[in-house]
Chain A
Amino acid sequence: MSDMKEYSLPVPVKPPAEIESLELPVPPGLEEKALKEDELVLFVGPQHGGSGHMRLIVRVHGDVIKEVIPDPGFVHRGMEKLAENRLYIQNIPLLERPAIMDCINFSLGYVRAIEKALDVEVPERARYIRTMMAEICRIGTHLYDAGILAVFLGHTTGFMWPFALRELTCEALMRVTGARITASYIVPGGVRRDVDRGTLNYINEAMTYIQHKLKDFERVFITNPVTIARMKDVAVLSKKEAIKYGLVGPFLRASGVEYDVRAVEPYDAYDELTWDVIVADDGDSYSRFLVRANEIQQSIGIIRQCVKALKEMPEGNIISADIAGKKKAAKAKAKAKAGKEGEKEGEKEGGEGEEKKEEKKGLDSIKGAFFRTFGRLTLPKGEYTTLTEASRGTVLYTIVSDGQSNAPYRLRMVTPGWFYLKGFMESLKGCRLADLQAVYGSFGYFPPEADR
């Protein structure tokens, strides 16, 4: 075989016109180089059945992927710029648009940044409701991602069952907030509406049902030999690589890094509840999926604890007294101390008649006083950053305020999808072309979330 000689054929190579006309992010000469090296450049997306709203430029040698160049931005809506032209309160519905299934977690991060700026203490009941709703959204998103992964592997039953189960989480969101998705439920200082006993019972029953049906799902899809064969040892990212490429959330934990914002910098009621951080060691597609499948179980546990705690608490008291009477900064600070003892007392202490009315409405419910309370919201000058553990990983919000305007001077929002896009692309190297969709599904990549 050593005397084999390579002959070059002077075949003229013409790259496809769309590389130039569509201004694709392709290095010049890629197509020619690929064809000369017996490779193929494939454009997967944005109309491809298994690509989502993005284009993947894949260079394959035979069946093995050499390189993947992402071309995201097809659903970029300019969230950060849009946010600069809106009131602080109007940004809540805007900023949960990137990940509509995960709305609570996304607005939670933004609202916590505002609360950090105003130094507001959130009442206990509101904290538990927030935690419960965030975990319901997490279950919904993980089920959604599991379904997408299943259909990318060709398993249609594994697609339909989680989507049907997700209906229960949507129903729970609807009963609590009034909307199946994009709830705009979290407001500075608390939550928008209270949860009644009947809804709490419904949530408990829904969790029991989901847990019961997840056993069937596990038998049909999670432990299916074909699923395991397709995902085991595929697209492995070691612990070192995962940290180097800046993975976040369940995907970082799947590579063996025990990092969860909920555990490291606990917010809301997470430090008062018992739950485990799920970690896997393999770092392959299967463990990335298993981590999220097990997180659903943890979330169900958290929701059960929240429901139990909420049932024992008296109803009402879901908006912080600080926010209701925040007009005068000095007074607000005085109330912050009183607010801890109980909202009713805080209200009594807050003097003048006109103010008092506003506060009274603002405490048990924000209904009717919404824009009076939040319309003139301005933050003190400074920069406020929060980290939140959304379903797909850490979401970062930074609000820069000039101290005078009622809209943010600058808002920075980095979503988990954008964080782990690099790791996703790197993990694809050396995989088979057929694995592209399986790895895509194992990351649960959601272009609207990454593009913002």
Chain B
Amino acid sequence: MLSYSSLLEMFRQNSVGIPLITRKVILYHTANKIAYIPPLTSLFAKIPLLNLIVALIFWKPFFAVVFAPGLVCILIAILFIIWFERKVTARVQWRYGPLEVSRSVGGIIQPMADGMRYFFQEVIVHREAHRPYFLQFPLITFLPVLLPILVIPAGAIYAINTPYSIPAAIALISLIPMIIVAIGWASNSKYAYVGSLREAIMYFSYEVVLIISAMAMVIVYGSASALTIVREQSVLPGIVLNPFAALAFFVAIAMATSRFPFEIPEADQEVVFGPFIEYTGIIFGVVMTLAYEKLYLLCMLFSILFLGGWNGPFIPPLGDLSPAFWLFIKTIALMMIFVFFRTFYARYRLDQALKIGWSTLMALAIVALGVGIGLGAVNVVGWL
């Protein structure tokens, strides 16, 4: 049985160190007097219960899932990337894009305004829906989104340090299509049915490629632990070692997150948002962001496997948050590339996407696997 103090001690021993908020801020400094503002975290250090809450917030597993790289970072990424997608598309198409909400900063809070609008819209549950599941599944979607965060580390911030973090993360991410198919079933509508079938077939076409190209990199580095993989990339990022794997993984991400040209399950001109057709109000807001959440997770994996993860110049005031910051920057940059595809691609047909997944892309993935085995056999990483 854990006592209050031992629990507090456990949290404090494994906490995130951010000098910016744990250091004393010196106001002025004379010969015999030092005046300083006490650090923010020590404000509540003596108050019972509040100190436990503060310690819990900075406890690494909790911090990883809820703040960085978890829920809060996902939220910021989504709000930014939806705005960016609309803005960059508008720029290419001779339009302004979101502007009226917060004119001075180019309408950057437009996604937040949309989210608030969703909150106040009526949630309609149609007669044919399987009511309990119809309402439950959008909330359950947070599970497969947040579970991979447990095993994807961001520098020193991690929840579970496992030598199998890459396979575990991919396995947990691949739960998302199950939820989408279940959503389509619970909607009990023809278009949702067609949409969830499309989702299932898309899943079938990209998943093997995604796993093979990730495994190719695991073989190169001789380890499936994200911490090891990133450490080995301090000299040469993975994209230089095995560009085939990077390309295959990149296209597989576009397929997995229904980015253009593979925006097939949700094609609004054909199946009118597919599995999510019956959703309204805030639950629509939740299911709509699902693809972006998945994009965030897979882009994070891409930057860990190929772009050196959280490697970057250390920023002293951020402390433990510095690697997480670099990982976030790389992830956002990748997401920006993916959403930019919307401006110059049309949509492939379902059978064409399936064909691409199992011919060109599969060949690329197998080449990548061969290259990975070759590099792993001669131990390039050790030699470097």
List chain A positions with a Cβ less than 8 A from chain B. Answer: 40, 42, 48-50, 63, 150-158, 160-161, 164, 220-221, 224, 226-227, 229-230, 432-437
B93: chain A residues at CB < 8 Å are: 156-157, 160-161, 164
Query: Once the chains are docked, how many angstroms separate the CA of A433 from the CA of B271?
Result: 9
A158: chain B residues at CB < 8 Å are: 346
In the bound complex, do residue B269 and residue A226 qualify as a contact, i.e. CB atoms below 8 Å apart?
A: no
In the bound complex, do residue A49 and residue B269 qualify as a contact, i.e. CB atoms below 8 Å apart?
A: yes
Q: Across the A-B interface, give the 8 residue pairs with the lowest CB-CB distance, nearest first.
A: A154-B347, A160-B93, A50-B269, A155-B346, A153-B346, A226-B346, A434-B349, A226-B261
A164: chain B residues at CB < 8 Å are: 93-94
Query: Once the chains are docked, how many angstroms separate the CA of A437 from the CA of B346?
Result: 13
Query: Once the chains are docked, how many angstroms separate the CA of A153 from the CA of B261?
Result: 10
In the bound complex, do residue B194 and residue A433 qualify as a contact, i.e. CB atoms below 8 Å apart?
A: yes
B18 at the interface (CB under 8 A from A): no
In the bound complex, do residue B348 and residue A230 qualify as a contact, i.e. CB atoms below 8 Å apart?
A: yes
Summed over the interface, the residue pairs from A and B with CB atoms below 8 Å come to a total of 80
A437: chain B residues at CB < 8 Å are: 269-270
B346: chain A residues at CB < 8 Å are: 150, 153-155, 158, 221, 224, 226-227, 230
Q: What are 30 contact pairs spanning A and B, CB under 8 A? A: A42-B190, A42-B194, A63-B350, A63-B351, A150-B346, A151-B269, A154-B263, A154-B269, A154-B346, A155-B346, A156-B89, A156-B93, A156-B342, A157-B89, A157-B93, A157-B343, A160-B95, A164-B93, A164-B94, A220-B344, A221-B346, A224-B346, A226-B346, A226-B348, A229-B349, A230-B347, A434-B264, A434-B270, A436-B270, A437-B270
Q: How many residues in B have their beta carbons less than 8 Å from beta carbons of A?
A: 28
Say how far A146's CB is from chain B's closest CB, in angstroms: 13
Name the CB-closest residue of A to B350. Answer: A434
A221: chain B residues at CB < 8 Å are: 346
Q: B261-274: contact bitstring with A at CB < 8 Å (1 yes, 0 no)?
A: 10110011110100
Name the CB-closest residue of B to A62. Answer: B197
Query: Once the chains are docked, how many angstroms separate the CA of A434 from the CA of B348?
Result: 9
Tell me whether chain A's interface is mostly helix, strand or loop, or mixed.
Answer: helix
In the bound complex, do residue B351 and residue A432 qualify as a contact, i.e. CB atoms below 8 Å apart?
A: yes
Q: B255-288: contact bitstring with A at CB < 8 Å (1 yes, 0 no)?
A: 0000011011001111010000000000000000
Name the CB-closest residue of B to A227. Answer: B346
A230: chain B residues at CB < 8 Å are: 346-349, 352
Say how far A334's CB is from chain B's closest CB, in angstroms: 56
In the bound complex, do residue B268 and residue A49 qualify as a contact, i.e. CB atoms below 8 Å apart?
A: yes
Q: B162-194: contact bitstring with A at CB < 8 Å (1 yes, 0 no)?
A: 000000000000000000000000000011001
B204 at the interface (CB under 8 A from A): no
Query: Once the chains are docked, how many angstroms separate the CA of A48 from the CA of B342?
Result: 22
Say how far B50's CB is from chain A's closest CB, in angstroms: 50
Question: Which residue of A150, A156, A160, A435 has the most chain B CB atoms within 10 A of its CB atom?
Answer: A156
Say how far A221's CB is from chain B's closest CB, in angstroms: 8
**Cβ contact of A154, chosen from B92, B95, B260, cutoff 8 A:** B260
B270: chain A residues at CB < 8 Å are: 50, 433-434, 436-437
A150: chain B residues at CB < 8 Å are: 346
